[in-house]
Amino acid sequence: MPLLPPLYALVIPLPRAVLTEWRIRRTVLHRRAYSTAAHGLAYAAASVVFRSAVPALCAGGDSGGHAPAWITLAAGCGLVSMAVQACLILPPVKATAAPGTRLHSLVLGQEGVCNQVTELCLAVLTAFAAAHSALALVVALPLAIVLQRSLRHASLAAAARTDAKTGLLNAGAWQREAAVEVTRAAAQTPLAVAIADIDHFKAVNDTHGHLAGDAVLAAVSAAMRDLLRDCDLCGRFGGEEFALLLPRTTAAQALEITERIRQGISQLAIPRDGTAAIRVTISIGVAVPSQGRRTLDDLLAAADHALYQAKRSGRDRVIMYAGTRVPQASQPLPLARTNVLLG
């Protein structure tokens, strides 16, 4: 984009936006317009910086004798474009994101950074090729198409395994990945499965409306992501129910982790416009493998039974499935609302 005049760079995202809206994916029109304008301003900023820094290079079109400086400048202009886009797009994204979502996760996600760096490198090489020889674009174009297709495929694959309201794994993706972990663990590695359910969630929908219910789901999901370890699997199992798989986790450790989640959720205050914040609690049933429970279905059934007992016992508590022996933990467990259901 830095090779284009600023006006051309400003309007170049428009045809792509129209094509995307028409042929690929429709979205809210004002969001598409804002995103397109942000990209156009970012490209125009890169073009202005580039042409201000090397007017002679742009006029002559010969970059061969100044390749290191030219590539460095082009990469810098790419960073300027990315920074302008981030400044324009991230504030509205942050404003509409789930409560508790950290800006760090929106900006510095590992996969997102990797994709941006890859796109920047290819863009610099393509720009250099275009400045040096128009014929080089014929070679560069297939690379750009393949990269865009791979990024779009990765985006679609991620969307297929993710629940739209919570950002967690959907039920199918969670079960597939959890089944792999259970099979891998076999009898050698401890693990735990838990089912969590938001208490009185129907009352939230009935009292505050379904949009408030969606906000509660998003806030609880964000809190779970923050409270769980990187190796844990968390998915939305349906409605207000969540499934957790805790690999390399003993029964005592599973109680500690799930109790930490219960306490964290109870301290949430989900803001509402003009009204008091919404507070919710969560009940959790936990199960670990035993002689009679080896498959994922068995563990889910046991955790669901323990969850049912937690609901019957007053809600806002963690219960381990019957017959589980819990060794003494290295630190005392917060047992006020944590129970082991004895057989």
Out of 111, 177, 240, 256, the active site residue is: 240
Q: What angle do CA 87, 92, 95 make, to 5 degrees?
A: 125
- 161: amino acid identity, one letter: R
How far, in whole angstroms, is CA 104 from its chain's centroid? 11
Give the integer Cα–Cα distance in Å for 230 and 226: 9
Task: For the sheet with 318-320, list strands across it.
Answer: 233-238, 241-247, 191-198, 282-287, 318-320, 338-340
What is the 3 state secondary structure string of the chain?
A: CCCCCHHHHHHCHHHHHHHHHHHHCCCCHHHHHHHHHHHHHHHHHHHHHHHHHCHHHHHHCCCHHHHHHHHHHHHHHHHHHHHHHHHHHHHHHHHHCCCCCCHHHHHCCHHHHHHHHHHHHHHHHHHHHHHHCCCHHHHHHHHHHHHHHHHHHHHHHHHHCECCCCCCECHHHHHHHHHHHHHHHCCCCCEEEEEEEECCHHHHHHHHCHHHHHHHHHHHHHHHHHHCCCCCEEEEEECCEEEEEEECCCHHHHHHHHHHHHHHHHCCCEEECCEEEECCCEEEEEECCECCECCHHHHHHHHHHHHHHHHHCCCCCEEECCCCCCCCCCCCCCHHHEEECCC
CA separation for the pair 311, 319 (Å, rounded): 10
Give catalytic status of residue 119 as yes or no: no
Measured CA to CA, the distance from residue 48 to residue 76 in angstroms comes to 12
Cite the active site residues.
240
